[in-house]
Homo-oligomer: A and B are copies of this chain.
Amino acid sequence: MRVTFEEVGNVLAAKLQSRGCSIVQSIQVGREMARNSLEGTYTHGINRFARLIRNIDEGIVIPDVLPSLVSSFGAIERYDGNLGLGVSNALYAMNRAIELAKMHGMGLVALKNTNHWMRAATYGYQACEAGFAGMCFTNTMPNMPTWGAIDSRIGNNPFVMAFPRSNGTHLIVDCAMSQFSYGALELARLEGRTMPIDAGFDESGNLTKDPDKVIKSQRIIPTGYWKGAAISFMLDIFASCLSVGNCVAEIGRLPGDEHGISQVFIAINYGVIAPEQDVELIIENALRDLKNSKPVDKNQPIIFTGEKTDTIRRENEKLGIPVDERVWAEICAL
C-alpha cells in the first residue's frame, strides 16, 4: 500500500504525542521519520517507528526533553542529550553548530546521552539547507568485529559529509563503517541473492558472499576491511571523548536496546572565506568530470548519491510512500 507523506507524518506525530512528546517535538520527529521513508531510507523511517515507541515505553528514550549545555568555549560546545529522542536532539545539535558557525566561521557540538538519530544524512542536509558544509558522526552499540577479531566490539558508526549546492541537489555521503548492514544481508537472504562482493566471514573464518553464512557467524566486515575498522574506532574516540559520553564498549554494557550514544556535529560557514561563485564552478567541474567516467556497464551511468534520493522522492511524492501493510497496521494500533 501507499500512504501520503502528510498522512504518515500526522500519524507518527499523533503517536509520539500520545507518549508524552510535546506538539512541536512530535511534529518535528514525525515529519523527519516520514521524510526518511519518502526519500527511500525505509529502514530508518516508518519501519523503525514501532521500535522507537517501544524504547519510549521501556523508559530508555525520554520524551519531551532537549539537550542541555554542559560546557562551551568559542566555536565548540558540549551538550547532554538527557536520553531524549535522537532525532530532535540531533536537529537541535546541528542547529546549534550552524549558529556557532555564523558567529565563528565554524561550529562543533558534541552530544552525549542521546539516542538513535535514524537517518544520518538528515543532519548533513540540515547544514546544507542553511547554506553550510556539514560533517557529523555517531557511535553505536558494538555490532562488528574489528579487523583480525571474531567478536563484535566496534560500532558501525555512521559518518556524514555534506556540501550544499544552490540548485538544492546537495552533495552528500552518508555511510556506516560496516560494508553491509544486517538489514541488507537479511533482505538478500530473503530474496535468495548472494552479495556482489565479500560480505563477511563464515563460521570457518573464510570470506564469503553468502548472506546466510555471515548472519550465522555474526562476522560482518568493516568498510574497507582494516581501514574502516580503524576509522570506526577513531570516530568512537572523537564522539565519546569530545562529548565525555559513552564509548561503544560502554554502550554495549548498558542493559536493553541501544541507548545513551555519543555524537558530533560540525558546520562550516565556508561562504565567509570562499566566493560562492567560485565554489559553484569547482563543484560543476568536479561533478562533470566524475560523470564523464567511462562506465563498466553502458546502461549504468555514473551517478552521485544525492541524485538517487531525488528520483525516489519525486516518485514517492507522486504515488505516496510504499508501506508494508502489517507495519502500518502495527503503527496505527500503537
A159 cross-chain contacts in B, Cβ below 8 A? 231
A300 cross-chain contacts in B, Cβ below 8 A? 148
Inter-chain CA distance A282–B70, complex, in Å, is: 18
Decide if A250 is an interface residue (CB 8 Å cutoff): yes
CB under 8 Å from chain B, chain A span 150-175: 150-151, 153-154, 159, 161-163, 171-173, 175
Report whether over half of chain A's contact residues are helix, strand or loop; otherwise say mixed.
mixed
Are A283 and B241 in contact, with the CB atoms below 8 A? yes
Are A234 and B161 in contact, with the CB atoms below 8 A? yes
Q: Given A150-B294, A171-B234, A223-B224: A272 and B240 within 8 A (CB)? A: no
Copies assembled: 2
A73 cross-chain contacts in B, Cβ below 8 A? 105, 269, 272-273
Q: Which residue in B74, B162, B292 is a CB contact (below 8 Å) of A153?
A: B292
Inter-chain CA distance A270–B238, complex, in Å, is: 10
A282 cross-chain contacts in B, Cβ below 8 A? 237, 240-241, 244, 247
Are A237 and B283 in contact, with the CB atoms below 8 A? yes
A230 cross-chain contacts in B, Cβ below 8 A? 173, 175, 304-305
Residues on A lying within 8 angstroms of B by beta carbon are 70-78, 103-106, 108, 110, 133, 145-146, 148-151, 153-154, 159, 161-163, 171-173, 175, 179, 197-198, 205, 207, 222-225, 227-228, 230-231, 233-238, 240-244, 247-250, 252, 268-270, 272-275, 278-279, 282-283, 285-286, 288-290, 292-297, 300, 302, 304-305
Given contacts A175-B227, A241-B279, A242-B273, 15 further A-B contacts (CB under 8 A): A72-B273, A73-B105, A110-B274, A133-B241, A146-B290, A149-B294, A153-B290, A171-B234, A173-B227, A179-B224, A227-B228, A230-B305, A241-B270, A244-B282, A249-B285
Q: Given A153-B289, A273-B72, A296-B149: A278 and B244 within 8 A (CB)? A: yes
Q: For A293, give the chain B residue with the smallest CB separation.
A: B149
Are A233 and B286 in contact, with the CB atoms below 8 A? yes
Inter-chain CA distance A294–B151, complex, in Å, is: 6
Are B133 and A105 in contact, with the CB atoms below 8 A? no
Q: What are 11 A-B pairs at a CB distance below 8 A?
A: A76-B269, A106-B108, A148-B300, A161-B231, A173-B234, A175-B224, A175-B230, A179-B224, A198-B198, A223-B228, A244-B279
